[in-house]
Chains A and B, each alone.
Chain A
Amino acid sequence: MLVAVVGGGPAGMAAAVAAKNAGADNVLLIERAERLGGVLPQCIHSGFGLNYYGRDLTGPEFAEYLRQDVMQSGIEVWLNAMVIEAHHDKTLVVSKPDGISFVRADVIIFAVGARERPRGAIAIPGTRPAGIFTAGTAQYMINVQGLNIGNDVFMLGSGDIGLITARRLTLEGAHVHGVAELMPFPGGLARNIQQCLKDYDIPLFLSHTVTEVLGKDRVEAVKVAQMENGYVVPGTEKLFPVDTLILSVGLLPEAELIKQLGLTILPYTGSAAVDQYFQTELPGVFVVGNGAGIWDLVDNVATSASVAGEASVKQFYEPSQEATLEPCGDIRVVLPQRIAIGVNNPPRIWFRVKRPLGVCSVALTCDGKTIARKGYASLRPAEMAEISLKLEQYNVIEPGDNLQLTVTPL
């Protein structure tokens, strides 16, 4: 039995190790970059591993631990190898330095990660000079390539990657003039607002956006204004004399290969619908990590990918034996979106809310009937939360049920 894992980030490494430990004869890990680790080698800050390894690690350290597990498990690793096609019969076409290879697998686990939303996706008016970067690219250039990307910086979007990059730039000697966030609340975790912005007196402008980029060859300034109901509030425009604009406006799952398989792409995750084992509607094809939906904590990525890796070597259930699950109201994203019935293993349901909520209660319902309920002191859009079903709650669910996840503020 051959399990092919596409992508050697944390999700791919954790899935490959779990598959091997669960008894897969052969596991092949295919990575297009020249190193394993995915985005972790560029995330040199700490904050990883508290749940998965029980200690606070930097991104490279977390990747190194996983890499050692991969090396010790007898997994075959191909580096500089990119999967360019995926077929229904589980054949992968791989482009490698020595030519094209065809891999005929029994199971495929896609762990291809996410890409950043580019500037085009948010349509800022103005010129198109040099000096505009997405946050992850900036982070890669600074931390992996050791480049100086700019001296005076403005940032659009307050996601965690952007906040962490703002701190790195400050420590490297750049002046970060401010961070604008369109929403009335920050995109990133509260701790990152504190330790990345407040620690260095970087102002955060909520309900603000960049309305214009100025400059001919290089960015010379950006205009920033307060927004209300999608319109600029007159008289609030400010000019920041910066040479660099960084966009931290979110990630989208890498879904090209999954689309080739004809799988339906959900609008709210940007990827295929998966069950509690991260299996798609195509038996034997799994999608894990940021390729299945955007996770914030790499610990959860590794944990959930291990579930898929282990399941990938077990028997597959009949697809008719499943219920569906969808997010409602203030719930933006839910994972899994399909629940396999009768596998005697109650699922863990992951979700993300649309706006910050205080004390609230999350309910899993079917036709108005509550199956499970859990209370939370607070929920934030920046954090994926979870609700684990008990066996007796899971046993109530029947094939064909349409389940809904809702949240009610208390």
Chain B
Amino acid sequence: MAKNATVWEVFIQSKNGLAHKHAGNVHAADKIMALENARELYTRRNEGSCIWVVKSSEIVSSETEDSEAFFDPSNDKMYRHPTFYTMPEGSKHI
């Protein structure tokens, strides 16, 4: 049996000006085949204007189990949000 094919994660930009969004993955031997497989699998109905493929093994992910500790530094900084501030009565356009 052939060795397992490489898995590629697929990101699709649905139209010009928007961010690429994760769509799923495909199996393929090389990058051109990965792009073509992604096109056949994820854009049969005009879903895309651009596709990125990235080897799944190259993706680094944070651990869901540690997510509380990992994201902790942002929890206590409410002053990063505009709603934290008190604006003078009657002030506009700010």
Q: Do A and B come from one complex?
A: no
B interface residue numbers (CB < 8 A to A):
none
- Interface positions of A (Cβ within 8 A of B): none
